[in-house]
Structure 1
């Protein structure tokens, strides 16, 4: 990118932010109370009333207004957002994250993770080395499907998502067929159609994980498989890093299931869990992300349409100075993540995700 192109991009972003600011300010003028449902007094997973607050935090990625609480059930260990976002809240906090202002950034982030996507596809090889049909639920822009074709060239990959990213994935040829909408609503027309259904870091975003799992059971043919990968709330990093642990991802992540809970629920639905992985799905970014979140939280805000106005020159300079000062710490955290912790993450209980492969009986 030339200097002229770079300046043009910055100018274009400023114009887009300015154009979006009036709508965001109207939304915020009405307050944020309508973004939250009534607080639950029982666990959505097991029904127990023995709840305790696990975490209180803010939006550490977009820095939109609001405070968020995660409660933990003392009986089953399920952790969930309480109070949970309403439909209006989900729309407000997702807006301009994966699409709009955030589309280019997120596409670059997800598009550059080919090795991780190949590893996810390879997890199926011991159980079905040549599936004919595969549905990726929560596919986003379809980058997993595009990479998985190199592992399973004979497989037809379809994608499902509620955003327009799935339609882009179809246009770019990463998925063969795009389904846009809610999985439970679309599941009847997909009944027993797929050899494999995957949910990679999707279930934690859903308002009702059990409903999503029932939809998966409907879409997988008998003898087919379901792959589920989610953040592990039992990771020691979740306790050590507190609100700076990236997989909490508030306010988007609504439910965190201990692996034993998910295994039992899959069994109850008619699946047999044939593989459980912790080391393989671990993403070695915990320390780097924690340092970045802390620096970004401390620094003056970047311009965003949910702010009353753009930051001044002094604020921008202070932000740049603080972030540059933090570069050595960011580099150190990256080295620790990738070379010191990665190989022993599961042994030390630090793995930040787990993956289950389950066969529909």
Structure 2
């Protein structure tokens, strides 16, 4: 697969220019996946199936009202991430995942990285031990953190960055040899994407990365994929309703949680989780 041209380094909160090629593989074979409200347009690459906002909309913002940080941490403990000394949570926000993960990794030092001031609040409230402001691709960040961590987690982070491929490679750079990378991302092939159309929450994100693309990139970088799982976060129906509509919102939330256990291993599962090991000895 040819190396794509560099993606424009725009802010997470501001639109970027319309582009005529895929930010993942560089192909010019694009088609419109959907057009949504507030002039949001999602294009899909016919060569690699990567979907992305084109042009980038300022409406994209990380949000996961139905995410269970504790369930994710428990699943990672069961996946065999035994007693890591140091862990960087990328896109940590207020640091709720490190806070939840301490129950299962009590001897691990958790640091947080986020492009917003939320990470500084996470530090002040004791959810992370070190706070780093920016993206991994922000100049100087990767060099400062190079080879420091046994685990790097990117939970619903790659969908919001200007260049997810560069961010992924930078994540491997801050891992120690033999360290583990954890990625969670929306599954573009979820049946909810078709059912809800432009109301499906991930259709508001900057990027939708197909699982095969991520796995292929990790293999190309010499990593061993140790775990791949489809999981479901009960939020699709909840976030489809505007918050002022309280009665439908409450009903949708109840239905999301009722259907959640039934959809985990079906085409409706809305998330995938990948754990990969960086080459080398720890």
Tell me the TM-score range normalised by the shorter chain.
Answer: 0.7 to 0.9
Query: Corresponding residue for 2:229?
Result: 277
Distance (whole Å) between structure 2 residues aligned to residue 52 and residue 177 of structure 1 = 43
Does 2:136 align with 1:183? yes
Q: Aligned match of 2:253 in 324, 327, 334? A: 334
Aligned ranges for residues 233-272 of structure 1 at < 5 Å? Answer: 233-249=188-204, 253-272=205-224
Cα distance in 2 for partners of 1:55, 1:180 equals 33
TM-score, reference length from structure 1: 0.68
Shift of 1:50: 1.6
3-state DSSP of counterpart to 2:36: strand
Task: Say which SS state the counterpart of residue 226 (structure 2) adopts.
Answer: strand
1:119 matched residue in structure 2: 71
In structure 2, the CA distance between the partners of 1:140 and 1:36, relative to structure 1 (3 Å rule), is: closer
Q: Does 1:40 align with 2:19?
A: yes
Over 4 Å off, 4+ runs:
none
1:157 aligns with 2:122: no
2:35 aligned to which of 49, 56, 62: 56
Residue 336 (structure 1) shift: 2.8
Whole-Å separation in 1 of the counterparts to 2:123 and 2:142: 19
| CA RMSD between the two structures | 2.2
Cα deviation, 1:264-303, whole Å, max 9, x if unaligned, reads 0111122111101112xx111212322x13xx6xxxxxxx
68, 74, 77: which one aligns with 2:49: 77
Please say which structure displays the higher CA radius of gyration: 1
| Distance of 1:37 and 1:156 partners within structure 2 | 36
Corresponding residue for 2:177?
Answer: 222
* 2:148 maps to which of 184, 188, 193: 193
Contact 1:247 / 1:352 at 8 angstroms: preserved in 2? no
> Partners in 1 of 2:251 and 2:144 — Cα distance?
50
Q: Equivalent residue for 2:4? A: none
Find out whether 1:148 has 2:101 as its counterpart: yes
* 1:28-51 deviation line (CA, Å, top 9, x unaligned): xxxxxxx64432222111222221
Give the Cα separation in 2 of the matches to 1:331 and 1:174. 30
Match of 2:166 among 201, 211, 215: 211
Q: Structure 2 regions of 5+ residues with no counterpart?
A: 1-13
Unaligned stretches of 5+ residues in structure 1: 1-34, 59-65, 99-105, 297-318
2:75, 2:142 → 1: CA distance?
Answer: 24
Which has the larger helix fraction?
Answer: 1
Do the aligned partners of 1:52 and 1:74 also contact (CA within 8 Å) in 2? yes
CA contact (8 A) 1:161 1:180 kept: yes
User: Contact 2:230 / 2:265 at 8 angstroms: preserved in 1?
Assistant: no
Matched with 1:14 is none
Q: Deviations over 1:192-213 (max 9, x none)?
A: 1100000011100010011101
